[in-house]
Amino acid sequence: MTTNPDAIKHLWTHKTQDHGWLADEDLVVDRAEGVWVWTEKGTKLLDGFAGLAVVNAGHGRREIAEAIAEQTVRLAYYPTTRQFSNRPAAELAAKLATLTPGDLDYTMFAVSGSEANERAMQMARHYWLAKGKSNKHKVISLEGGYHGATVGTFAICGLPHMTQAYAPLQPAGFAKVKPPYPFRDRGTGTDAELVERRARELREAIEKEGPDTVSAVIMEPVISSGGFVMPPIGWLTAVRKICDDLEVLMIADEVITGFGRTGRWFAVEHDGVVPDIMSVAKGITSGYIPLSAAIARRKLADAFPEDAKQENVHPNTYAAHPVACAAGLANLKIMEKDNLVANAEAMGGRLLEGLQHAVGKKTIVGEVRGRGLMVCAELVKPDGSGQPLDGAEVAKLDRKAWDRGAIVYARGQVVRLAPPLCITRDEVDKLVDIVAASIGELENELTR
Ligand SMILES: Cc1ncc(COP(=O)(O)O)c(C=O)c1O
């Protein structure tokens, strides 16, 4: 039985027309296993973007399904809003304390990545209130950064086309600064010089706002929606120092990069940096059930006395949902048992090298870059100017890859790859072949 096309029209997203070249009925995803997905019409595709860089453990893991079933029967729901807790939530929080760097030991669960960032900003605000610094409320973020689709996170979003409609609803005065974007901004200098320049701009932005009014700086270690921008190693260390110097909290948004995606458990580990708060989602359950968290350092938790009676950050109805936390525990068990973080590093290296070799010298490829299993090719005009290739041309790669049997994510100037971390060598090679053939075809069309 297939899905009725009229039923699909009831989905709000039906009008998004992200894949205008396919009918709604062709885009009904029916089942998935490992790195493969099948549409209802039977098309088999290599999932080169793990859904939305979510399904780290791979599709169809029965262990997670069984953990979900067992927990659902035992205790499907009980709130944690009034100091109740449950075993999966406590065990997952304790597990996160061992996996995350430094003394990031205190977890507040939520449901989506957006909410994790809301909680992170709220934790920061309450910390400063507890410290008697009630003016500290601003949150500085990066141009190109994306932290969620709530009105609060749109205030720190660095992608203006997404937030314009909500401008009247947003608090004013949240400065955005440029991240170090080596391919576009390195010029004739070095990466280290670029980091220094951008760090200076960040420091100046905080000083201009007034450090006594700034609560936190939030940033993705790899700027994902903004185009898989990979700041040089050293950037986060510089940010950490500025935050320490100016008494501002550092929030790392690891919603995409967390749980092995970049070849480390968390992307901040590439720099050896411990943020004050880390927000996570996606890979925490590999998407089997929604779950997210804001994880805080000891000093934040210590700002509130053990015997405090007054609530600080308000948890939502589904915070620390027992079934979601059971899914998280089962997911992390798989990641450890199957060494998926090490696999992400190894397969990410293979994907990067394979793609560099296959398309790195093509006229329309400006750069192929990667960190673990976040790999992309940035496209440029074929006239040698180095100018970004028109987004409508880049988007054609979605279809070209689909026709060859893979789902990729071509937006703006980059075609992005972030497959499940369980990907094998053969599957990496297949993905490289498909992306290379798709880019080759596009180049032929543009230079004909
Ligand atoms: C870096 C980052 N932060 C936050 C979010 C928002 O997460 P969610 O869509 O689960 O609310 C996303 C979503 O893609 C993201 O990439």
Ligand 1 binding pocket includes 147 (Cβ within 6 Å) = yes
Domain ranges of the chain: 5-57+339-447, 63-337
Is the distance from the beta carbon of residue 112 to the nearest atom of ligand 1 less than 6 Å?
A: yes
When mean pLDDT is compared across 1-5, 233-237, 382-386, the lowest value belongs to 1-5
Nearest CA to ligand 1 atom 8: 113
Task: Name the β-bridge partners of 142.
Answer: 177
Q: 50 with 312: CB under 8 angstroms?
A: no
The whole-number pLDDT of residue 98 equals 98
pLDDT digits (tens, 9 = 90+) for 32-71: 999 999 999 999 999 999 999 999 999 999 999 999 999 9
How many angstroms is it from 141 CA to the middle of ligand 1? Answer: 15
Helix H segments across 303-339? 322-337
pLDDT (tens digit per residue) in 114-132: 999 999 999 999 999 999 9
- Cα–Cα distance for residue pair 291/113, rounded to 1 Å: 8
Centre of ligand 1 from the C-alpha of residue 256, in Å = 7
Question: pLDDT tens across 279-298, in order?
Answer: 999 999 999 999 999 999 99
Q: Which is the closest atom of ligand 1 to the Cα of 149?
A: 11
> pLDDT tens across 407-431, in order?
999 999 999 999 999 999 999 999 9
CA gap 26, 397 in Å, rounded: 18
Q: How far apart are the first and last CA of the chain?
A: 44
Ligand 1 atom nearest 112 alpha carbon: 10
For ligand 1, atom 3: residue with the closest CA:
147
Can you tell me the distance from the alpha carbon of 205 to that of 211, in angstroms, rounded to the nearest whole number? Answer: 9
The CATH label, of 3.40.640.10, 3.40.190.290, 3.40.50.2300, 3.30.70.20, for the domain at 63-337 is: 3.40.640.10
Give the homologous superfamily in CATH for domain 5-57+339-447: Aspartate Aminotransferase, domain 1 (3.90.1150.10)
- Residue-wise pLDDT tens digits, 211-256: 999 999 999 999 999 999 999 999 999 999 999 999 999 999 999 9
Nearest CA to ligand 1 atom 16: 256
Residue type, 419: P
CA distance 320 to 315: 9
Average per-residue pLDDT in the chain? 96
Nearest CA to ligand 1 atom 4: 147
* Ligand 1 atom having least distance to the Cα of 292: 10
d(CA 405, CA 387): 30
Which two tokens mark 117?
Answer: 């960032």
Report the b/e string of 139-166 with b at 16+ CB within 10 A.
bbbbbbbbbbebebbbbbbbbeeebeee
Between strands 44-47 and 36-39, the pairing is: antiparallel
Question: Which atom in ligand 1 lies closest to the alpha carbon of residue 150?
Answer: 11
Q: Mean pLDDT, to the nearest integer, of 194-220?
A: 98
| Ligand 1 geometric centre to CA of 292 (Å) | 10
What local confidence, expressed as pLDDT, does residue 173 receive?
Answer: 60
Atom of ligand 1 nearest to the CA of 281: 10
Cα–ligand 1 centroid distance for 448 (angstroms)? 39
* Alpha-carbon gap, residue 387 to 399, rounded angstroms: 23
Q: Whose CA is nearest to atom 13 of ligand 1?
A: 148
